[in-house]
Amino acid sequence: MTDLRQECLWEFVTPPAAPAAALTAQIKADVCVIGGGITGLCTAINLLEQGKSVALLEARVIGHGGSGRNVGLVNAGTWIRPDDVEATLGQQQGSRLNKVLGEAPAEVFAMIEHLGIDCQARNEGTLHMAHNANGVADLQSRHQQWSRRGADVELLTGAQCQEYCGTDKISAALLDRRAGTINPMGYTRGLAAAVRRLGGQVFEQSAVTGLTREGSAWLVKTAHGAVSADKVVISTGAYTEGDWTALQKQYFRGYYYQVASKPLQGAAADNVLKHGQGSWDTRTVLSSIRRDDQGRLLLGSMGRVDNKPAWFVRSWADRIQGHYFPQLGKVDWEMHWTGCIDFTPDHLMRLFEPAPGIVAVTGYNGRGNTTGTVIGRAFAQYLLQDDPDALPIPFAPMKPVSAPLLRTGFYETGFSLYHAGQCLRVLL
C-alpha cells in the first residue's frame, strides 16, 4: 500500500512555473492587484489587454490558495438555487447575477482557449447527485428553476443516471451541460503566465503590510518594497492576512479536503463517471467525486484533514468509495490536501469599494473558478470605465460577519464529528 502523503494533486501533476521574484523596490503601476488567484489574475489580464500597467502581489506563490487547491469544478450559478438568489437580492439584481454566473462556465472555457492554457479542461458538464429522497426533491426544484431560465440541464433517473454516475446508490442526478472540470492549478498558472506575456509584473513572497493614500495615488507596502498605483484590487479571498484590511471580517473561513487515489485502470474504473463529468452529492456535509485525466479517483468533503492522522483520512475515503463504487475493490490512496473557502451567511459573494480607487471581493462560497473569472473581467471594466453596470451586483457596505471564528470552529467541529461517524460506519 502506498504511503498516504499530504500533497496537493494539482501541484504534483502541473508542470512547475518559473518562480517570480519578491518585490524589493518602490515601483509604479496603473493598477496594483493584491492576490495571485484567479480573480486577481483575470483582472490583470483584462487590464493589460486594454493597455494598463499592472503590478500583482502574491503573499506566497501563485496557486497556493484556493485557486490552485480546489476540486476543479467549473460550475454554473451559485451554491444556492436561482429562485433563492432572487429572493435574497431582489428580482432585478438576483436575475442579473443568475444570468452572469449561469454563463460563467462558458467564459472560463473561452479564457482557456483564448490564452492557450493546458489545464485538463473538459466541458462535459457536472452531475449533482441525490443521495436520498430529500436530495431528489432538491434536484427536481433546481431542474425546474434552471429550465425556466433556459439553462441546458437534464434530470437523470433510472438506468441513465446509473450509467452517468457509475453507481446504483444514486437515484437521480442533475446534469448541467453548461459546466465542466479543469485542473485548477493548471488554470491558475496558465493565467499567471499570460499576465507575464502581456507585460504585467508578478511578485511572489510579497505579502502586503500596509495600504495608505499618498497624494492622488495609493501606496501598497510590502516588507521590502511598495507599489504606487492609481487603483487597487483586493482579491485575497479566504487567504486574506494582515491588519491592513478589514476584508477578512466580511466572511468566515471554512475548509475543504480532498483525497486522490493512484491512477485506476480496468472496466470497473472506466465506468465511474464514464462521460467525464465532475460531481458532488446533496448531503449537508457533501462529498465531491471526480476523475483526473490519469484515471485517479478524487473524493472530497467539507472540513480539514491536514490535522488528522493518515488512518483517519484513508478510512473516510474507503467508506465513501466503498459505498458508491464497491466494484473498484480496495483502492490505493496516494495523497490528500486541504484548502480554505470564504463563506458568507447567505452563500452569496460581496463586492466592496472601501475607498475611491479600491475594489475588493469575498464570499465565493466554493465557486471560485467561475466566479473569480467573471469578477476579474467585471473589476477591470469597472476600473477602466467607472461604470457600476459593469458589475454583476452592486457594491455592498462593509458589515463584519458576526463571530467568524466561532462560526468556523462550530462548523469544523460538526464536520469532524460527521466524518468520524462515517469512518466508524455510524453515518453515511
130 lies in some domain = yes
Q: Which residues, including other chains, have CB under 8 Å from residue 316's CB and lie 6 or more apart?
A: 259, 301, 305, 419, 422, 423
132 lies in some domain = yes
Which residue stretches of 284-361 are H helix? 310-324
Cα(256)–Cα(49) distance, integer angstroms: 34
pLDDT tens per residue across all 428 residues of the chain = 679 999 999 999 999 998 999 999 999 999 999 999 999 999 999 999 999 999 999 999 999 999 999 999 999 999 999 999 999 999 999 999 999 999 999 999 999 999 999 999 999 999 999 999 999 999 999 999 999 999 999 999 999 999 999 999 999 999 999 999 999 999 999 999 999 999 999 999 999 999 999 999 999 999 999 999 999 999 999 999 998 999 999 999 999 999 999 999 999 999 999 999 999 999 989 999 999 999 999 999 999 999 999 999 999 999 999 999 999 999 999 999 999 999 999 999 999 999 999 999 999 999 999 999 999 999 999 999 999 999 999 999 999 999 999 999 988 999 888 888 888 787 77
Backbone angles phi, psi at 264, to 5 degrees: -105, 145
Cα(390)–Cα(354) distance, integer angstroms: 18
386 lies in some domain = yes
Cα(365)–Cα(342) distance, integer angstroms: 6
261 lies in some domain = yes
Q: Which grid cell is 287?
A: 462529498
Backbone angles phi, psi at 268, to 5 degrees: -60, -45
| Cα–Cα nearest to 63, from 142, 8, 140 | 8
Which residue stretches of 198-273 are H helix? 267-270
Q: How far is CA 125 from CA 113, 141, 223, 277, in A?
A: 17, 19, 44, 5
CATH of residue 103's domain is 3.50.50.60
| Cα–Cα nearest to 418, from 271, 285, 298, 253 | 285
428 lies in some domain = no
Residue 230 DSSP SS3:
strand
64 lies in some domain = yes
Number of domains in the chain: 1
252 lies in some domain = yes
Q: Which grid cell is 26?
A: 518602490
Which residues sit opposite 281 in a β-bridge? Answer: 129
Can you give the pTM of this predicted structure?
Answer: 0.97
234 lies in some domain = yes
Q: Which grid cell is 165?
A: 454516475
Domain that holds residue 406: 5-423
